Amino acid sequence: MIMRVVLSTYGSRGDVEPLAALAVQLRERGAEAVVCAPPDDDFARLLERAGVPLVGAGQAVREMIAEVTRKQGPNVGRRLPLEELQLRARRIVATQYEAVLSALGGSAGPDDVVVGTGLMPAACGARSAADRVGARWVSVRFQPTTLPSPHHRPYPYPGRPLPEGETDNRVLWEYDRETMKVVFGGVFDEHRVGVGLETVDDVREYVFTRQPWLAADPLLAPWPDDAGADAGVDFGVDVVQTGAWILPDRRRLPEDLRAFLDAGEPPVYVGFGSMGMQQELKGPGRLAIEAAREHGRRVVVHAGWAGLGLSDDGDDCLAVGEINQQALFARCAAVVHHGGAGTTTTATRAGAPQVVPQVVDQPYFAARVAELGIGVAHDGPVPSADSLSQALGQALEPGTARRAREVSGLIRTDGTRVAAGLLGVG
């Protein structure tokens, strides 16, 4: 009997592309692998290029972001009321459950597996679908700060801010356990009862499991050896780090981009990926273009979900859409980006110095870039032309470029092979 693996997420491209990478590896080894993900057009095209079937789950993420932004304004994560969050969680739990169950054909063989990640409600729905048919469940995260550890704080949720003044991460992660119960526990149990499953006392532990996978490079995003327990406190996890799941991109760069790259010195890349808070990002995007020009550098601007564009019609800037970042970053003098796990890994592998303005997404990876000496974590939450110019200047220094090239050869590329072996495929 052929082993089937259903890879489930609801999130941005940073969640979908790694699952596509693992699916390719599994299919090459003879397993059946499909991805359950939001039906955004760019996700569909990505999976089609990879030769991986897509089972659409719920509402397209870009549509959801636009809908919530119209109601709540651009700072969605800070303003969404708890009641609205739970309402949307109910929908995501139900649609992800149905998508995963459909991908499994309503039943599972003895070797079938569901691998789940993405937003917590999506992981809840996928876990319930696995339980419903008796499939094995594997929880995966793409960066370490979402997993309980004495070395970092949990993220706050709307309506449940972290206790003011509390600095003990042991206390904060216990608070996070209760937060998960308050925010998602009732929603999860309500759905499970509706589909004939037992309720769960600890939703975080049940969904993440006590042995979650960390699909991140061990140099860029290490999991500390002592992160499972500290001073006798059980953090509830024994993390398995596989390495990053990287999807090789063999697409040729467009003719106009290749001509632009060939016409002068390596440019600076500016792009914020799937981050969709348009007004919050367009300002830093324009400032990054100004900063690059101050250093005499040309610029490649990636529109992304934030809709970044050129500030004028100067011939020193080129706007691009969906592109082979693996090929492009290797020809860039520096990469200014949002700090997502995938973009950080791609830029590091390419040997490109990085600047990560900490207005969005991942201050964790910004800090790691700085600690490794391969770029700069922009200092302060509100960038200016001067502050970005200073950060970019540091990234463009010869020593930073040398260090970036050195570290590029240390990034592992066997993450999907490790994960496939752990799943027992091939």
Q: Which amino acid is at 342?
A: G
Structure tokens at 199: 């309720």
Q: What is the pLDDT of residue 328?
A: 98
Residue 249 located in a structural domain: no
Same domain, 135 and 282: no
Residue 260 located in a structural domain: yes
The CA distance from 255 to 267, in Å, is 16
The CA distance from 345 to 46, in Å, is 18
Q: What is the pLDDT of residue 233?
A: 53
Same domain, 278 and 305: yes
Same domain, 342 and 236: no
CA angle (98, 239, 197) in 5-degree steps = 30
Q: Is 376 left (phi over 0), alpha (psi -120 to 50) or beta?
A: beta
Structure tokens at 103: 């991908």
Residue 425: alpha-carbon gap to chain centroid = 25
Q: For residue 17, how many C-alpha atoms fall within 13 Å in the half-sphere facing its CB?
A: 20
Q: What is the pLDDT of residue 255?
A: 97
Answer for the pair 18, 342: CB distance below 8 angstroms, yes or no.
yes
The CA distance from 200 to 187, in Å, is 11
Same domain, 259 and 234: no
* Torsion of Cα atoms, 56 then 60 then 64 then 70, to 10°: -150
Question: What CATH number is associated with residue 20?
Answer: 3.40.50.2000
Same domain, 260 and 380: yes
Q: What is the pLDDT of residue 282?
A: 59
CA dihedral sign, ordered 337, 416, 149, 371: negative
292 backbone dihedrals φ, ψ, rounded to 5°: -60, -40
The CA distance from 134 to 140, in Å, is 19
The CA distance from 116 to 119, in Å, is 10
Contacts of 87 (CB under 8 A, 6+ apart): none
Same domain, 325 and 223: no
Q: What is the pLDDT of residue 85?
A: 86
Q: For residue 76, how many C-alpha atoms fall within 13 Å in the half-sphere facing its CB?
A: 19
Same domain, 130 and 269: no
Residue 205 located in a structural domain: yes
Residue 55 located in a structural domain: yes
213 backbone dihedrals φ, ψ, rounded to 5°: -95, 145
**Residue-number span of the structural domain to which 98 is assigned:** 4-244+413-423
Same domain, 343 and 418: no
Residue 321 located in a structural domain: yes
What is the total count of domains within the chain?
2
Same domain, 147 and 21: yes
SS (HEC) of the chain: CCCEEEEECCCCHHHHHHHHHHHHHHHHCCCEEEEEECCCHHHHHHHHHHCCCEEECCCCHHHHHHHHHHHHCCCHHHHCCHHHHHHHHHHHHHHHHHHHHHHCCCCCCCCCEEEECCCHHHHHHHHHHHHHHCCEEEEEECCHHHCCCCCCCCCCECCECCCCCCCCHHHHHHHHHHHHHHHHHHHHHHHHHHCCCCCCCCHHHHHHCCCCEECCCCCCCCCCCCCCEECCEECCCCCEECCCCCCCCCCCCCHHHHHHHHCCCCCEEECCCCCCCHHHHHHHHHHHHHHHHHCCCCEEEECCCCCCCCCCCCCCEEEECCCCHHHHHCCCCEEECCCCHHHHHHHHHHCCCEEECCCCCCHHHHHHHHHHCCEEECCCCCCCHHHHHHHHHHHCCHHHHHHHHHHHCCCCCCHHHHHHHHHCCC
Same domain, 85 and 193: yes
Strand partners, 317: 299
141 backbone dihedrals φ, ψ, rounded to 5°: -125, 155
Residue 250 located in a structural domain: no
Same domain, 418 and 389: no
Q: What is the pLDDT of residue 231?
A: 46
Same domain, 418 and 401: no
Residue 186 located in a structural domain: yes
Residue 348: alpha-carbon gap to chain centroid = 16
Q: For residue 53, how many C-alpha atoms fall within 13 Å in the half-sphere facing its CB?
A: 15
Residue 336 located in a structural domain: yes
Walk along the chain (426 residues) and give the pLDDT tens digit of each residue.
789 999 999 999 999 999 999 999 999 999 999 999 999 999 999 999 999 999 999 999 888 877 777 776 555 445 568 888 889 999 999 999 999 999 999 999 999 999 999 999 999 999 999 999 999 999 999 999 999 999 999 988 877 899 999 999 999 999 999 999 999 999 999 999 999 999 999 999 999 999 999 999 999 999 987 665 554 456 668 999 999 999 999 999 999 999 999 999 999 999 987 665 444 555 677 888 899 999 999 999 998 877 777 878 889 999 999 999 999 999 999 999 988 999 999 999 999 999 987 654 578 999 999 999 999 998 766 677 888 899 999 999 999 999 999 999 999 999 999 999 999 998
Q: What is the pLDDT of residue 227?
A: 60
Answer for the pair 289, 270: CB distance below 8 angstroms, yes or no.
yes
Q: What is the pLDDT of residue 387?
A: 86
